[in-house]
């Protein structure tokens, strides 16, 4: 059975991945505009009309920007926990308020928005199925309402998503160790972040904090802990434009892979501007 994964884009300006199996087509996050997601899917010969579901990790704008436009127009179910639903609705309402859209004004604005989407709520830690894909959820430490990572089990292999986390917990290690394909945050180089003149002290502290984002070095240390013969593909995701460089993130991880003898793992940077080449599992 054919199973394919395409990282449509990853970074602080938007995050979205597309998984297709024999029966199911899923977006993991929808952090670009609906038009941009349509364009990126079109490069694969795909359209949003055929999506089975959207999975949402958390409510920050670079993960939810396209949800309302896609889910409402094409009647796509949105799977998330209640904390993420609440945060997403408030973020959407704030956006509409800024545009002075009267239909969503006032206290009932979130109720109007809530009714426009087919929400499928899960409890963090729960497992469920979408078509022929098994979904496992797990908690991650990030400054959102109730952020989660995902393990997606398919007939051809298991895919893990762990981005937007300030530190790597034992639970995260336990969950992502099962992955044959892993999408892992490698957000920043610590020195570049500390020296960045365009980042305030408060923002630097947030990023470096235990509910912020992990560095290249932390990502490499994490991979050393979870390495197995089953891990075949590793994507470094959510790289900072200002406080990281793709070649730097790749170098730090490649050195770690070489050090632990993990020559069987294919390493790839998930960029912001164009989709990665499609991976056939």
Residue 114: its pLDDT value, please? Answer: 83
User: Three-class SS of residue 236?
Assistant: strand
- Cβ contacts of residue 203 below 8 Å, gap of 6+? none
CA atoms within 13 A on the CB side of 167: 7
Model confidence pLDDT, tens digit, residues 46-96: 999 999 999 999 999 999 999 999 999 999 999 999 999 999 999 888 776
Cα 218 to its chain centre, rounded Å, is: 18
Q: 3-state class of 147 per DSSP?
A: coil
Kindly report, residue by residue over 213-250, the tens digit of the pLDDT: 999 999 999 999 999 999 999 999 999 999 999 999 99
Per-residue tokens: 122: 């899960």
Model pTM score = 0.94
Q: How many CB atoms are closer than 10 A to CB 15?
A: 29
Q: How many CB atoms lie within 10 A of CB 158?
A: 19
Task: Tell me if the domain spanning 4-275 has CATH number 3.20.20.370.
Answer: no
Buried b (16+ CB within 10 A) or exposed e, 181-215: bbbbbbbbbbebbeebeebeeeebeebbeebbbbb
β 119-121/127-130 pair status: unpaired
> Which pLDDT does position 245 carry in this prediction?
97
- Cβ atoms of 47 and 38 closer than 8 Å: yes
pLDDT at 115: 83
Helix (H, G, I), strand (E, B) or coil at 141: coil
pLDDT of residue 111: 78
**How many percent of the chain have pLDDT more than 70?**
95
Cα 275 to Cα 64: distance, rounded to the nearest angstrom: 18
Out of 88-102, 171-185, 259-273, least confident range:
88-102
Orientation angle between helical segments 216-226 and 246-259, nearest 10 degrees: 30
Question: What is the three-class DSSP state of 210?
Answer: coil
């Amino acid at each position: 059975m054919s199973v394919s994964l395409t990282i449509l884009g990853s970074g602080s300006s938007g995050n979205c991945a597309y998984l297709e199996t024999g029966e199911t087509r899923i977006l993991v996050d929808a952090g670009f505009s609906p038009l941009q997601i349509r364009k990126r899917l079109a490069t694969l010969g795909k359209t949003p009309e055929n999506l089975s579901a959207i999975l949402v990790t958390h409510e920050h704008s670079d993960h939810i920007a396209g949800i309302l436009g896609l889910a409402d127009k094409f009647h796509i179910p949105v799977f998330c926990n209640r904390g993420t639903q609440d945060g997403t609705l408030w973020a959407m309402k704030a956006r509409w308020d800024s545009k002075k859209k009267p239909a969503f004004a006032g206290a009932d604005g979130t109720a109007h928005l809530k009714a426009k989407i087919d929400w499928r709520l899960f409890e963090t830690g729960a497992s469920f199925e979408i078509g022929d894909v098994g979904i496992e959820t797990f908690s991650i430490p990030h400054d959102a309402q109730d952020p989660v990572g995902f393990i997606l089990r398919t007939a051809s292999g298991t895919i893990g998503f762990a981005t937007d986390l300030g530190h790597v917990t034992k639970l995260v290690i336990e969950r992502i160790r099962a992955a044959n394909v892993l999408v892992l945050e490698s957000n920043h180089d610590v020195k570049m972040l500390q020296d960045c003149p365009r980042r305030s002290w408060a923002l630097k502290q947030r990023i470096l904090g235990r509910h912020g984002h992990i560095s290249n070095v932390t990502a490499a240390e994490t991979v050393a802990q979870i390495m197995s013969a089953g891990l075949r593909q590793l994507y470094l995701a959510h790289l900072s434009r200002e406080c990281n460089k793709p070649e730097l993130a790749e170098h730090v991880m490649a050195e770690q892979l070489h050090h632990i003898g993990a020559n069987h793992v294919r390493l790839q940077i998930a960029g912001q501007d164009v989709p990665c080449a499609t991976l056939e599992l």
